[in-house]
Amino acid sequence: MNQNTRLNVAIIGSGNIGTDLMIKVMRNSRYLSMGAMVGIDATSDGLARATRMGVATTHEGIDGLINLPSFDQIRIVFDATSAGAHAKHNELLQQHGVKVIDLTPAAIGPYVIPVVNLKEHLAGTNINMVTCGGQATIPVVRAVSRVSRVRYAEIVASIASKSAGPGTRANIDEFTETTSQAIVSVGGAEQGKAIIVLNPAEPPLMMRDTVLCLTDADADTDAIRQSIEQMVKEVAAYVPGYRMKQDVQFDTIPADQPINIPGIGWVSGIKVSVFLEVEGAAHYLPAYAGNLDIMTSAALAAADQIAAQMIAAGQGGHHE
């Protein structure tokens, strides 16, 4: 395989996430090349930056992308718009044989966390990057569930209010539903719940995530700790600012003093508590916006692996 071979990609959405992702593609990607930046606001900073960096642009949305002379060379498209807009975008792009990586909570394609299940979906035509909270916490849930039964998992994602743009705010309900579903389907918990907190503190605080898992009373705590620590290292390989704030905590909930979890009832066992922090790389967004950085980092990691496989299979030319 020619190591200089790269696939052309486009990004739909010239806001914070799309612009940060563009910079990551241009600086950090091994197999991708920026083919187009797509927006709907001709005056957006993202489109202006793309133009300065020599990237083709359009402010006419998905229709403008399809009408670009270079569109037939675009093999992968990142969608960083909204859950509502993604359905239309995906339908049109699938007609042209373009692979789609969805950074909205639309969840048309399977939920994908690079370190957990990307290999199963490398050939997919649409993959969903869950949510920022999902990318940060579901690897930890999976780390626990691969060595012990997880009867219930709850995650709390706390992000700086300033890092939550209009897209994030419009998708709060989808965030909690999508993340809760992925805690079960990808994380391996029997039941899951997700909570997001927009913290208005000034100066803005970094993204913090709390992961709580309820395991059986006879769970091997050493195996759980080692599994979590290994998983955190694997995530940090593509999100350098991802780390645990303290050691994994274990609390015994005795059978004669059970706790009541709504929807499950009275339970006992071992509560596993993991406290995470995600610091952004500050390519375009502030360092406190780790919630956006982990989404763009995960999407790039996924796209690079998909592109490597496509190039190896000789699929690097024009799309259908």
Which of the residues are catalytic? 132
C-alpha distances in Å from residue 102, one per residue of 93, 145, 244, 271, 297: 12, 26, 27, 33, 13
Tell me the β-bridge partners of 235: none
Alpha-carbon distance of 89 to 173, in angstroms, equals 21
Alpha-carbon distance of 118 to 112, in angstroms, equals 6
270 sits in the region (left: phi over 0; alpha: psi -120 to 50; else beta) called: beta
Phi/psi of residue 7, each to 5°? -95, 140
Q: Tell me the Cα Rg of the chain.
A: 20
**CB 230: neighbour CB atoms within 10 A?**
11
Alpha-carbon distance of 257 to 243, in angstroms, equals 33
Alpha-carbon distance of 244 to 232, in angstroms, equals 8
**CB 132: neighbour CB atoms within 10 A?**
30
**CB 20: neighbour CB atoms within 10 A?**
26
- Beta strand pairing status for 150-160 and 192-199? parallel
Tell me the β-bridge partners of 210: 156, 275
Q: Which of 161, 200, 174, 1 is nearest to 102 (CA)?
A: 174
Alpha-carbon distance of 296 to 23, in angstroms, equals 10
